[in-house]
Amino acid sequence: MTKDIKILAIESSCDETSAAVVVNGREVLSNVISSQIDIHKKFGGVVPEVASRKHIEVINEVVLEALSTSGTDLKDIDAIGVTYGPGLVGALLVGLQYAKGLAFSINKPLIGVNHIEGHISANYIQYKDLKPPFISLVVSGGHTFIVHVKDYGVYEVIGETRDDAAGEAYDKVARALGLGYPGGPAIDKLSKLGNEAAVKFPRAHFHEETMDFSFSGVKSAVLNYLNKCRMTDEKIVEADVAASFQKAVVDVLSDNVFTTCKKLGADKIAIAGGVASNSALRSKLLLEGSKNNIAILIPDPVLCTDNAAMIGSAAYFQYIKGEFAPLSLNARPNLKLGQK
Site string for Zn ion, 6-45 (x = CB under 5 A): ----------------------------------------
Q: Which one of 28, 275, 294, 337 is in contact with ligand KG4 (CB under 6 A)?
A: 275
Return the one option of Zn ion, ligand KG4, none that residue 275 interacts with (CB less than 5 to 8 A, by type): ligand KG4
Q: Which 8-state DSSP code applies to residue 181?
A: S
State yes or no: residue 313 binds ligand KG4 (CB under 6 A): no
Helix (H, G, I), strand (E, B) or coil at 44: coil
Within the chain, residue ranges assigned H as helices are: 37-41, 48-70, 89-106, 115-126, 166-176, 183-191, 216-231, 238-264, 279-292, 301-304, 309-319
User: Out of 183, 194, 299, 312, which residue is the one contacting ligand KG4 (CB under 6 A)?
Assistant: 183
Tell which one of 160, 168, 240, 306 touches Zn ion (CB under 5 A). Answer: 306
d(CA 91, CA 53): 8
What does the alpha-carbon distance between residue 166 and residue 157 come to, in Å, rounded to a whole number? 16
Q: Is 240 in the site for ligand KG4 (CB under 6 A)?
A: no
With CB under 5 to 8 Å by kind, the binding choice for 36 among ligand KG4, Zn ion, none is none
CB of 56 to ligand KG4, least distance (A): 20
Smallest distance, ligand KG4 to C-beta of residue 180, A: 11
Q: What are phi and psi of 201, to 5 degrees?
A: -95, 150
Q: Is-contact 146 159, C-beta < 8 A?
A: yes
For residue 74, how many C-alpha atoms fall within 13 Å in the half-sphere facing its CB?
A: 11
CB of 291 to ligand KG4, least distance (A): 23
Q: Measured at the alpha carbon of residue 183, what is the angle toward residues 232 and 170, in degrees to the nearest 5?
A: 75
Among 112, 132, 153, 184, binds ligand KG4 (CB under 6 A): 184
Cα(98)–Cα(277) distance, rounded to whole angstroms? Answer: 30
Q: How far is the CB of 306 from ligand KG4 (least distance, A)?
A: 4
Say if CB 7 and CB 316 are below 8 A apart: yes
Rounded distance, CA 125 to CA 119, Å? 11
Report what 182 binds from ligand KG4, Zn ion, none; CB cut-off 5-8 Å by kind.
ligand KG4
| Residue 206, helix vs strand vs coil | coil
Tell me which residues in 64-93 interact with ligand KG4 (CB under 6 A).
Answer: none
- Return the residues of window 122-161 that contact ligand KG4 according to CB under 6 A: 140-142
**Binding to ligand KG4 by residue 164, rule CB under 6 A?**
no
Site string for ligand KG4, 277-296 (x = CB under 6 A): xx------------------
115-154 positions binding Zn ion, by CB under 5 A: 140
Among 239, 241, 262, 259, which residue's Cα sits nearest to residue 251? 259
Instruction: Provide the binding-site residues for Zn ion, judged by CB under 5 A.
Output: 140, 306
Instruction: Provide the binding-site residues for ligand KG4, judged by CB under 6 A.
Output: 14, 140-142, 167, 170-171, 182-185, 188, 273-275, 277-278, 305-306
